Structure 1
Amino acid sequence: MATSTTDPVTSPRPAPQDARTGSAAPGGTGLTMFAVLLAVFVVPISISGTAVALPEIGADTGAGSASLQWVVNAFNVAFACFTLVWGTLADLIGRIRAFTLGAAIFAVASLVCAFSPNIYVLDGARALAGLGGAAIFACGSAILSSAFDGPARAKAFALFGTVAGVGVALGPTVSGPAVDALGWRWIFGIQAAVLAVVLLCVPAVKRQVKEQPAGGGRLDVRGAVVFVVAMAALTYGIVQGSAWGWTSPGTLGLLVFAVVLLAVFSALAKRTEAPLLDVSLLRNRRFVAYTLVPVAASFGFVTQLTYLPSYLAAVAGYSASTAGVTMLLLTIPVLALPMVGAKLVQRGTSPVAVIVVSLLCLVVGDLGLLLIGPEASFAVMAPAMLVTGAGMGLSAGLVDGQALALVEPAKAGMAAGFINTLRLGSEAIAVAVFGSLLASLAADGSGTDAAASYDGAFHTLLWAMAVVCLILGVLVVALTRGSSRAEHAG
């Protein structure tokens, strides 16, 4: 696969002419962007917002804690398992058709959630919603990659990152009052209504973005089955690892099984004419570098977003509402900075430079929080949280646009699926592993009070976050430098 030494955003590529790709119609693509971003907004708000409703769902259905947790986990596992499959399928049947199918599945699943008679139907419907969410993310980013070029493309992906960040940040804020005022079932009904609006926009999107799916191709079913089973084993093992124990036979068995299946998947991909994942994508060092950035954000930002509120409550004595408001320091940069990153690139800044700064912000922000203690001074927390949020915000959307610009248009869906598989998979791994580490370290603090144990454990966790981000940052720099030299030599 050919790459270019020029910046894929600041040097716009011509509109794709391949019949298998989409190209913008002369009338503009404003409604396309609206429909895609509205659907994208529903996915993260469904993840973060549903967690707020769990207590009321449990009280209403009488569900135990394990079944209740799968209201969230079922969505995440299905999302992680099927994102790559949807991305590849979109290249075959058409991205708009696949996106529409995913939005319809999500809408129907949300309606089933709203009318669920028991927790088991709800868990199953949430898994179905995760299947639809995987299509929205993989196919939505592929549609944007096809429909926009140059500065407009950079703006589209910056908005993609902004909207996803808004969904994560506003999920609890929007869903909490909805649950209190209307009941938990309404949050799923609202999601279905929003996606109905998206589906109403599809005919206009088809007129704005012309595409024709690849003729004669077919899905690598064998590879898809192996990959889905491998991801299911991996994510289920990670989700259950903290409950079963990371060295328990069940956890280790699932993780080993997943690794073996992923090795089989890789071997099959090399022997298949049209594999689920074309491994030649991974020979592009710059593409691989960009895909590692969301992984760093999972460890440096998502873990902080997940566990800092509990630290503020357990150690600093914050109320739930005060801790929630404080977390705005972490999320506000995610809402504001994706457009800043895109504009810097448009004005000539190297996208790699912007991404390296974002990774440094993750490291510095995580290390900066080492200064917090039981008093949790706002003056100490605010700079560290804002810097961490900047690390997430500067690269949000930018990495997707840059990575997809390196891929031949016919494989944009596959590439988008791979990026989003890494994104959600790494989030699941980071949250589960660091949560288990946090619980273990806090429990090991014998002879001290619970708050002091948690304080020490969280500080160890911050060191681990920073180290992982630093290692990934070094890898990103090494891969981008190596690719630049190789491209120049070629």
Structure 2
Amino acid sequence: MTTTLLTRRRVSPVALPTLLLGVFLVPISIAGVATALPSIARDLGSDPVQLQWVVNGFNATFAVFTLVWGVISDHVGYKITWLIGVTGSIAALLFCAVTPDLALLDLGRILAGLFAAAIGTSTPAIISGAYEGVARTRGFALFGTALGLGLAIGPSISGGLTAAFGWRGVFVAFAVLIAVSLVLSGFVPAVRHERDPGAKIIDFRLLRNPRFLSAVLMPVIQAFGYITLLTYLPVALSSVYGLTAGQLALVMIGLTLGALVGPVVGVRLVNSGRGISVHAMFYTSIALMLLGNAGMLLIAAAVPLWVLLIPMALLGLSFGLPLGLIDGAAMAAVPPTSSGSASGLVQFARLGSEAIVIGFYAAIISALVATRVADPRLAQEVASGLPGHAADYIPAFVIGQIAILVAVVLGLIATIVLHRVVRRSERRPGDAPRRVSATLD
């Protein structure tokens, strides 16, 4: 057990909204910018590789640099890392807004992902170090809500901005919003832990910590059980039900609503005094995920669309309920001096697993459709949701859902094993408390 000493000043009520504004923009940059790709293609060219890197460039650098910024923030301080991220993000977004060609836009998105990783990594560490008790719990609940909100409404916001101001206006608007955080940065507390002189640059003991790993595993399971459908369910609904873009936007609310309300509900349940633990909430989430993904197999029977809203709602809750608990549980499982590294690993697991799982899912669906459709061009269109070819798309979707269910079950087994290891370790006498000092300026 680690005891942390803090020299505290009262944290401004403006601090948390300032931090969460940056967090809110990170998932929008991931999920929302893709909606501007058609407009970007019309202006800068339609090279498929370069267009894909408008999205993948951000995702790849964000995933990798969460680990880098995690280590850096433990050494230079979490607010300094956050300021670097905010300032660099503004510059990268404005660069994207004025770039004259697609290759430079890719470069701008790579830089945007690099600096967004600094924001995504340092924010949980600041919340963990600056707040205690109920305030800390509330901070992580709102952190999860900001992530869910950005993920849920990011495509709608980006689509609206693109329609009103063009794709360049999307990047300008994001830069202006994050500049608000920079203006209010004086309210963000400066948290920095004093490290032992002999402390390692990277503490690999985090990867041997079963309590920490059980928290890190949860977003990986969510990548399989929720993010794949968040990304590709519109394709399935287009193929089977022939929905328009506007209709898809309305139906997808059924999948995202739980992600908006779930984080606060999950935290309140854990802190209700009813004996509901974080692990119990993880199990509840996985159970809802299994039910929701099994229910989505009803697409194969072309059931009425309203029937699908039930498993979609279950999936939304499966994602939202633990979202405000994951980062707090991970931070609580490690020494305060490793908060940045721990946060980096959580964000790496979250986004890295999403990128890998989504890529594999898309490849599997495309390959399965290609076995039924001889024309390669038509097969690509069918895999992208071309209406009128449900008979060719549904078998691939069913196999994809079965693969998701298998992956979630394996995640459940791993979670149970880690939980048992944690419970056994809690029964053994712990090491003597280690005192680590930190300052909150």
Query: 1:111 corresponds to which residue?
Result: 94
On the 8 A contact 2:40/2:167 being kept in 1, the answer is: yes
Deviation, 1:373, is 3.2
Query: 1:79 corresponds to which residue?
Result: 62
Match of 2:74 among 77, 91, 99: 91
1:325 counterpart letter in structure 2: L
Deviation, 1:466, is 1.3
Query: 1:480 corresponds to which residue?
Result: 419
Is 1:126 aligned to residue 109 of structure 2?
A: yes
Deviation, 1:399, is 1.1
Query: 1:362 corresponds to which residue?
Result: 289
Whole-angstrom CA distance in 1 between matches of 2:278 and 2:353: 23
Query: 2:191 corresponds to which residue?
Result: 211
Give the TM-score, by structure 1 length: 0.81
Is 1:452 aligned to residue 387 of structure 2?
A: no
Whole-angstrom CA distance in 2 between matches of 1:63 and 1:375: 35
Deviation, 1:440, is 0.9
On the 8 A contact 1:93/1:214 being kept in 2, the answer is: no
Whole-angstrom CA distance in 1 between matches of 2:45 and 2:80: 39
Deviation, 1:376, is 4.5
Whole-angstrom CA distance in 1 between matches of 2:314 and 2:207: 31
Match of 1:398 among 325, 342, 347: 325
Deviation, 1:374, is 6.4
SS in 1 for 2:283: helix
Whole-angstrom CA distance in 2 between matches of 1:482 and 1:47: 35
Deviation, 1:339, is 0.4
Matches within 5 A, 1:454-473: 454-473=393-412
Query: 1:195 corresponds to which residue?
Result: 178
On the 8 A contact 1:91/1:214 being kept in 2, the answer is: no
Whole-angstrom CA distance in 2 between matches of 1:183 and 1:324: 20
SS in 1 for 2:241: coil
Whole-angstrom CA distance in 2 between matches of 1:357 and 1:299: 16
Whole-angstrom CA distance in 1 between matches of 2:261 and 2:192: 36
2:57 counterpart letter in structure 1: A
On the 8 A contact 2:35/2:158 being kept in 1, the answer is: yes
Matches within 5 A, 1:313-392: 313-348=238-273, 349-373=276-300, 375-392=302-319
- Structure 1, gaps ≥5 residues long: 4-13, 218-271
Is 1:308 aligned to residue 233 of structure 2?
A: yes
Whole-angstrom CA distance in 2 between matches of 1:376 and 1:184: 37
Identity of aligned residues (%): 38
Is 1:275 aligned to residue 201 of structure 2?
A: yes
Is 1:47 aligned to residue 65 of structure 2?
A: no
Deviations 1:406-451 (A, max 9, x none): 1111110110001110111100111000110111111122599842
Whole-angstrom CA distance in 1 between matches of 2:334 and 2:425: 17
Residues 364 and 168 of structure 1: CA distance in aligned 2, closer, same or farther (over 3 Å): same
On the 8 A contact 1:24/1:148 being kept in 2, the answer is: no
Deviation, 1:284, is 1.6
- Greater relative contact order (CA < 8 Å, ≥ 6 in sequence): 2
Runs (4+) off by over 6 Å: none
Is 1:101 aligned to residue 84 of structure 2?
A: yes
Deviations 1:209-266 (A, max 9, x none): 243464797xxxxxxxxxxxxxxxxxxxxxxxxxxxxxxxxxxxxxxxxxxxxxxxxx
Residues 92 and 54 of structure 1: CA distance in aligned 2, closer, same or farther (over 3 Å): same
SS in 2 for 1:30: coil
Deviation, 1:103, is 0.9
- Structure 2, gaps ≥5 residues long: 380-387, 430-441
Query: 2:361 corresponds to which residue?
Result: 434
On the 8 A contact 1:301/1:392 being kept in 2, the answer is: yes
Deviations 1:140-183 (A, max 9, x none): 11111111112221111111111111111111111112111111
Match of 1:186 among 169, 187, 199: 169
On the 8 A contact 1:316/1:374 being kept in 2, the answer is: no
SS in 2 for 1:17: strand
Deviations 1:263-320 (A, max 9, x none): xxxxxxxxx96233x1211222111111100000001000011111001111221112
2:256 counterpart letter in structure 1: T
Deviation, 1:378, is 2.4
Residues 353 and 29 of structure 1: CA distance in aligned 2, closer, same or farther (over 3 Å): farther
SS in 1 for 2:201: coil
Residues 320 and 103 of structure 1: CA distance in aligned 2, closer, same or farther (over 3 Å): same
Whole-angstrom CA distance in 1 between matches of 2:145 and 2:131: 17
Deviations 1:453-480 (A, max 9, x none): 2111111111111111111112112211
Deviation, 1:87, is 1.0
On the 8 A contact 1:312/1:376 being kept in 2, the answer is: no
Matches within 5 A, 1:30-45: 30-45=13-28
